[in-house]
């Protein structure tokens, strides 16, 4: 019995040792990825309009893409990004204050800085943002409108808390389970072009790209199972036709802000994609 206990202790110790070695390796890799810079990043020129129609369009795009989910209702920043729990192991990452107020980046960011951050996930100092969704799929026109909207935000005085990235989160990044947006973007890909806003599958596919930060491109399957009314009602209410409620991440104000045209276009795209997959 004593010999069996010793062998058990040796085997358990071996597993613990292997785990610690693997965790240390992933931690080192994760630190490298989180601290990586993007050298020689060519930033394309995007026209930034100033008219009220463009600013209103920019507010809508910023809303449906979920900017307020992380940066707060006033876009003045939010302490302890909700994607991290704030525990010692995971850490806490504050979403920056986007306004020109005290502690905000709005007063210092140039047009190029905005493009670099939103489209490429790279901060003005050349380092990748620790936690940010990729908005590469935004067309030049929509990106320009979003920047036009951000540039006229009223000042909010709110200091950003320093990022505290815990060891578990670093290891997760090292394992490739979570990646900074800057490392997931194909910088050589052609710049996206937004189709005309219309009740069409093409426009629906473009609008649905806002979902790809969380969902795979096969998300059309679950949409195609619903009627158009069922899909629109579910997106607005957060409740599926069978009564199942969406997760908290899916019941945020950005989805309620989708227009009838956008929702119908997404549904049409899902129907077309499902039909193509069935052939």
Tens-digit pLDDT profile for residues 173-221: 777 777 777 777 776 777 778 888 899 999 999 998 888 777 777 788 8
Q: Give residue 146's pLDDT.
A: 96
Q: Give residue 3's pLDDT.
A: 66
Q: Are residues 76 and 147 in the same domain?
A: yes
Average pLDDT on 67-79 reads: 85
244-273 confidence digits (pLDDT tens): 887 776 666 778 889 999 999 999 999 999
Q: Are residues 161 and 238 in the same domain?
A: no
| Least trusted range by pLDDT, from 38-47, 64-73, 89-98, 107-116 | 89-98
Q: Are residues 163 and 221 in the same domain?
A: no
Report the 10 Å Cβ neighbour count for 275.
12
Confidence of residue 156 (pLDDT cuts 50, 70, 90): very high
How far lies 167's CA from each of 16, 29, 118, 171, 207, in Å? Answer: 17, 12, 27, 6, 36
Burial 94-122 (b: 16+ CB within 10 A, else e): bbbbbbbbeebbbeebebebbbbbbbbbb
Q: Are residues 156 and 223 in the same domain?
A: no
Q: Are residues 84 and 145 in the same domain?
A: yes
Helix runs in 97-247, H state only: 111-120, 140-151, 167-174, 181-184, 201-208, 220-224, 228-237
Tell whether 29 is covered by a domain: no
- Report the C-alpha gap between 232 and 33 in whole angstroms: 39
Q: Are residues 173 and 205 in the same domain?
A: no
Report the 10 Å Cβ neighbour count for 73.
9
Q: Give residue 11's pLDDT.
A: 66
- Report the C-alpha gap between 114 and 34 in whole angstroms: 20
Tell me which H or E stretch contains 269. helix 260-278
Q: Are residues 130 and 163 in the same domain?
A: yes
Contact 136, 192 (CB under 8 A): yes
Cβ burial of 85 (10 Å; 0-12, 13-18, 19+) is middle
Confidence of residue 2 (pLDDT cuts 50, 70, 90): low
Q: Are residues 75 and 178 in the same domain?
A: yes
Q: Are residues 246 and 131 in the same domain?
A: no
Q: Are residues 58 and 175 in the same domain?
A: yes
How far lies 34's CA from each of 174, 180, 188, in Å? Answer: 9, 7, 21
| Least trusted range by pLDDT, from 12-21, 62-71, 111-120 | 12-21
Average pLDDT on 227-243 reads: 88
Confidence of residue 85 (pLDDT cuts 50, 70, 90): very low
In the structure encoding, which two tokens stand for residue 251, read together?
Answer: 């019941």
Structural domain for 217, as ranges: 201-278
- Domains of the chain: total: 2
Res 88 pLDDT > 70:
no
Q: Which of 136, 138, 131 is nearest to 120 (CA)?
A: 136
Q: Are residues 83 and 168 in the same domain?
A: yes
CATH number at residue 137: 1.10.760
Tell whether 35 is covered by a domain: no
Tell whether 34 is covered by a domain: no
Tell whether 243 is covered by a domain: yes
């Amino acid at each position: 019995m004593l010999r069996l206990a010793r062998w058990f202790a040796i085997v358990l110790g071996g597993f613990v040792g292997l785990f610690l070695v693997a965790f240390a390796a992933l931690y080192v890799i994760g630190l490298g990825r989180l601290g990586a810079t993007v050298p020689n990043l060519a930033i394309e020129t995007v026209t930034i309009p100033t008219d009220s129609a463009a600013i209103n369009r920019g507010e809508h795009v910023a809303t449906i893409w979920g900017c307020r989910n992380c940066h707060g209702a006033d876009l003045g920043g939010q302490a302890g990004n909700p994607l991290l729990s704030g525990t010692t192991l995971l850490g806490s990452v504050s979403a920056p204050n986007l306004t020109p107020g005290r502690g905000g980046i709005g007063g210092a960011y140039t047009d190029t800085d905005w493009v670099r951050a939103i489209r490429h996930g790279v901060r003005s100092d050349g380092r990748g943002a620790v936690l940010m969704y990729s908005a590469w799929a935004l067309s030049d026109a929509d990106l320009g409108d979003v920047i036009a909207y951000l540039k006229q935000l009223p000042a909010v005085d709110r200091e950003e808390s320093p990022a505290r990235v815990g060891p578990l989160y670093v290891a997760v990044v090292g394992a490739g389970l979570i990646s900074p947006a800057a490392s997931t973007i194909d910088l050589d890909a052609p710049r996206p072009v937004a189709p005309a806003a219309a009740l069409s599958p093409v426009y629906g596919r473009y609008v649905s790209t806002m979902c790809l930060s969380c969902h795979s491109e096969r998300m059309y399957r679950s949409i195609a199972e619903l009627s158009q009314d069922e899909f629109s009602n579910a997106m607005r209410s957060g409740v599926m036709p069978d009564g199942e409620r969406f997760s908290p991440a899916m019941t945020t104000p950005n989805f309620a802000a989708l227009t009838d045209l956008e929702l119908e276009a997404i549904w049409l795209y899902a129907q077309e994609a499902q039909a193509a997959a069935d052939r």
